[in-house]
Chain A
Amino acid sequence: MLNFVENRRIYFIITGLLILLSATVLVVSTVMYGSPLRISIDFTGGSLFVLQFEEPITEEAIREVFAAQGHTGAIIQQLGDSKDNLWQARTRAAVATEVENVFDEFVSRGETVDRERSSVDIVAPTVGAEVASNAAVAVLAASLVILVFIWFSFRGVPHSIRYGIASIIAMLVNVIVAIGFYALMGILQGWEANALFLTALLTVIGFSVQDIIVVFDRVRENISRHHGETFALIVNRSVMETVHRSLATQLNAMFIMIAILLFGGATIKPFIAVMLVGMLSETFTSLFVAAPILVVWDERSSHRQHAHG
C-alpha cells in the first residue's frame, strides 16, 4: 500500500513551494504593474468611445485600429441597426492625445469616421472595487460557515474542529495557487483579472470543499470501523480508498475544460484555464494536504499528552 501519510513532508514542501511561487509572482506583478494582478477595465473603468461611421465597418477592423494604438482587449459592440454604422468600444483610460491618435488611425486606414458625431467619455468601473473586496469578505464568511458546518457535521469524531480548519487551509491554498497562476499569466500573456476571473475563483471555492469532505467522510467512517488502528493508518487507508473516486471525478471535469480550452472561443480561455488549475490544486490538497494535516495535528497533540503524562 502506498503510504501517503508517511510522505507528507514531501507534500507539505510541494505545497509550501506552490504558495511561495504564487507569492513571488504576485510581488513581481506588483513591482511591474503596481498591482498583484493586472486589473481589467471591469474594475478600473476606462474610456468609452462611441464611433459614428459613414460607411459600414467590421468589428475586426475597429479592433485592429485600437490594437494598433496599444488598446488590446477593447470590448467592441454595435449600437442600433447595422445600417446606423454606430459602434461603441470600451478601452483602458485613454488620454486626449491617445484619443486623437485613435481617430487619426481610423482616417489613415481610410475609414470614414465622423469625428463630430462621435464621442469619448471617461466611464466608471462596471464592477466596483468594492465588489471585489466584498467578494473577498464573502469568501471569508463562506470559510467560517463551512468551518462551523464541518465541525458540526463531524461532531461524532474526536477533535472535529480540526477537520473544519484543515478544510479551510486546503481551500485557501487552492485560492492562492489559482490567483498566483493568473498573476503569472498576467505577466507572460497579459491576462487581466476581470469579472470572469472572480467567477472562476468562486467556482474553485464552491467545489473545493466537496473533494475534502469526501476524504474526511471516509476517515469518519473508518474511525468507527477500524478500532485499534493508529490514526495515521486510518487516514492513509481513507485516502487510498477515495483516490479512485477523486481521479475519476477530476478526469470528467478535465474532459470538459480541456475541450473548451482546445476548441472554445478565445474570450473564455483564461477563465477556463484558471478553473482547471484550481481543480488540479483541489485534488492535490484534498488528498495530500487536508488529510495529512489531521495526522500531524493528532501526533503533535498526543506527543504533548505523553510528555505531560
Chain B
Amino acid sequence: MNKNTLTALIAILLLTLVSLYLILPIEHPAMVTNLLFWRPAGSRSLDFRQGLDLRGGLQVLMAADMPADQELPSGAMKTASQIVENRVNALGLTEPIVQVRGQRKLNVELPGINDPGAAIDTIRETALLEFVEPPAGAAQQLTTGATVSTTFGLEESAELTATAEGLFKTVMTGAALKDVAPGMDQQTGQWLVNFKLTADQTDFFGEYTRSHIGQLLCIVLDKQILSCPQIQGAIPNGQGSISGKFSSADAQSLALQLRYGSLPIPLKIESYETIGPSLGADSVEKSLRAGIIGLSVVFLFMLIYYRLNGLAADLALALYVLLNLLLYKLIPVTMTLPGIAGFLLSTGMAVDANILVFERMKEELRRGRSLHRAIEAGFARAWTSVRDSNLATLLTCAVLWFFGDAFAASLVKGFAITLAIGTLVNVFTAIFVTRTFVRVAFHLFGEKALEKPWLLGI
C-alpha cells in the first residue's frame, strides 16, 4: 500500500475512535474536559447543549427598576430587550427568547442552563454606565466599589436639587459610547477600557470638561463607583479610558458589555423559574426515530446502488455523523429540533459528493478505462463540481452569518454555523475519507478481484 494511504487510514481510524469516545454519553474524566476546555480548565462539560424546545431551560423575568409611577422613555423597553438579546447571544447561547412582556417587563428564556446563578449574574450585569458629578463634600465616600445614587432617570426638577441631597448628577451615560475596547495603561501596566464617544457627545463632553477643569468626574457602573479621576483639561476629541483595578478578564467583559450597548434603563431580576421544553419530549423522540429510519434507508441505498463503493461511502458517512456531533459538542452548538432535522437532511445530502464521484467512475469505466485509472479520474474530475458547489454553500453561510450577527438574528446565525460545519465535514469525509477507503480496498483485493460488474454496481 502507498505510504500516504496507510498514514491516512491510520489517521482516520484514530479520529473515529477519539470522536466516538467523546460523543458517548458517559462520564468523561476531568482530565479530558480540562484538556479540551483549558481556558479556564474544565470550564465546560462535554454535554450536548439542548435548546429551549428540546430540554427547556431557565426563564428569567426582568423588570424596569424605576418607580412605578414614572413613565419610561418611549422605546426604552424595546431597546433594552435588543441589548439583553445581544448580550445573551454574545455569550454563545443560541436561540434564546428575549421579549418585552407587558409595559415594563422583559421575559428572558435561556436554553440549556445548568447553573441558574451564573446565568442570572450574566444578564444581571446590566452595565448602566454613567459619568457623574459627585455632590459637594462627598470626597470621603468616593472609593472604588462604593454604591451611590444618581440623578439618572429622575425628573428634571430633581436634578436641580441633586447636589444638595447628596445625589450624584449624571452627566452622560454609556449610550454616548461608540467604540469600546480593552487596553492597557502603558505606564502602570493596568488593564483599562478605552472608549470613543459618538459625534454629538464629543462636542458636549468637550464643552463639559472645558468648564469643569479641576473637578472630579466619577465613572459609575450599575451605581457602583469604578473610579473618580480629576478632569485635567478639556477633552475635545471624545477619546478616553476607564480604569478601575481591572483584571484582563474584567476589562474584556466590561468592554463587551459596553460594546453591546448600555441599557437605557436599569433592570432588576423579578423572578426566575426553570421552564419545560416547548416541544413535547414525545415529538422529539418520534422525530429522532424517524430520522434514524430515513438515515438507514440512505445507508442501504448507497450499499445496494454502488456496492463496494457504497460501502466506502457508508463508512465515510458514519464518520460524517460522528464528526458533526463532536463539533456540536466542542463549539458548542445548541441542538434544537429544527437543527437536528436540518442535520439529518444534510446527512442525506452529504452522500451527494460521493454520488458525483461514483457516477464519474462509472462513466470512466464505460469509456474503457482501467479500474485503477477510473477510480482516480472519478475523484479528480468530480473535484471541481464538489469544490465549487460547496464553496458556494460556504459563501452563503458566511453572508447569512454576518447578517445574523449584525442584526442579532441568532436563528439565522445558528443555521449558518450548522450548515457550514456540515459542508466542511462533508468535503473532508466524502472526498478524503472515501478515497482512502476505496484505495485500501483496491490494494487489499487487487484490480482483478474488483473488476466484477456486480461488485461495482455497473
Chain A residues close to B by CB (< 8 Å): 45, 48, 59, 75, 77-81, 84, 86, 88, 121-127, 130-131, 134-135, 137-138, 141-142, 145-146, 149-150, 153, 195-196, 198-200, 202-203, 205-207, 209-211, 213-214, 217-218, 220-221, 241, 244-245, 248-249, 251-260, 262-268, 271-272, 275
Contacts and interface: CB of A to CB of B under 8 A. Distances in A.
A64 to B, nearest CB: 14
Most buried by A among B100, B396, B412: B396
A242 to B, nearest CB: 8
15 contacts: A131-B409, A131-B411, A138-B412, A145-B398, A149-B395, A210-B352, A210-B392, A254-B348, A255-B294, A257-B348, A259-B291, A266-B283, A268-B337, A271-B338, A272-B341
B286 A265 contact: yes
A268 B397 CA distance: 23
A115 to B, nearest CB: 18
A59 B352 CA distance: 42
A267 B404 contact: no
Given A124-B99, A198-B411, A257 B403 contact: no
B102 A268 contact: no
Interface in B14-57: 56
Contacts of A203: 342, 345, 415, 419
B347 A79 contact: no
B428 interface: no
B458 interface: no
A77 B56 contact: yes
A256 B348 contact: yes
Given A142-B396, A203-B342, A252-B301, A134 B409 contact: yes
A104 B274 CA distance: 28
Interface in B267-281: 273-280
B190 interface: no
Main SS of the interface on chain B? helix
Interface residues of B, number: 77
A264 B287 contact: yes
B144 to A, nearest CB: 38
A123 B400 contact: no
Interface string B385-415: 1001111110111111001101101011001
Nearest to A197: B338
Contact of B338 (A80, A124, A145, A196): A196
A58 to B, nearest CB: 11
B354 to A, nearest CB: 9
A56 B107 CA distance: 25
Nearest to B399: A142
A63 to B, nearest CB: 10
A203 B397 CA distance: 10
Contacts of A244: 359
- Pairs A-B, 10 closest by C-beta atoms: A265-B283, A259-B294, A256-B294, A138-B403, A263-B290, A78-B276, A124-B100, A264-B287, A264-B290, A256-B348
Contacts of B59: 79, 88
A206 B399 contact: no
Contacts of B381: 221
A20 B390 CA distance: 31
Contacts of A249: 349, 351-352, 355
Most buried by B among A81, A122, A251: A251
Contacts of A200: 338
Contacts of B282: 265
A5 to B, nearest CB: 20
Nearest to A76: B278
A251 B415 contact: no
B369 to A, nearest CB: 15
Nearest to A203: B342
A130 B79 CA distance: 13
B55 to A, nearest CB: 11
Contacts of A48: 101, 107
Contact of A77 (B102, B277, B305, B407): B277
B171 to A, nearest CB: 32
Given A122-B101, A267-B280, 16 more contacts: A79-B273, A124-B81, A130-B407, A134-B407, A199-B342, A202-B415, A202-B419, A213-B388, A245-B352, A253-B348, A256-B294, A256-B347, A260-B294, A264-B283, A265-B283, A268-B287
Contact of A142 (B290, B388, B400): B400
B100 A213 contact: no
Contact of A268 (B101, B338, B409): B338
A77 B276 contact: yes
Contact of A135 (B388, B395, B409): B409
B376 interface: no
Interface in B321-376: 337-338, 341-342, 344-345, 347-349, 351-352, 355-356, 359, 363
A75 B278 contact: yes
Contact of B294 (A138, A221, A258): A258
Contacts of A211: 389
Contacts of B344: 256, 260
Contacts of B411: 127, 131, 195, 198-199
A96 to B, nearest CB: 14
B119 to A, nearest CB: 16
B295 interface: yes
B297 interface: yes
Nearest to A127: B411
B355 A245 contact: yes
A166 to B, nearest CB: 14
B114 to A, nearest CB: 16
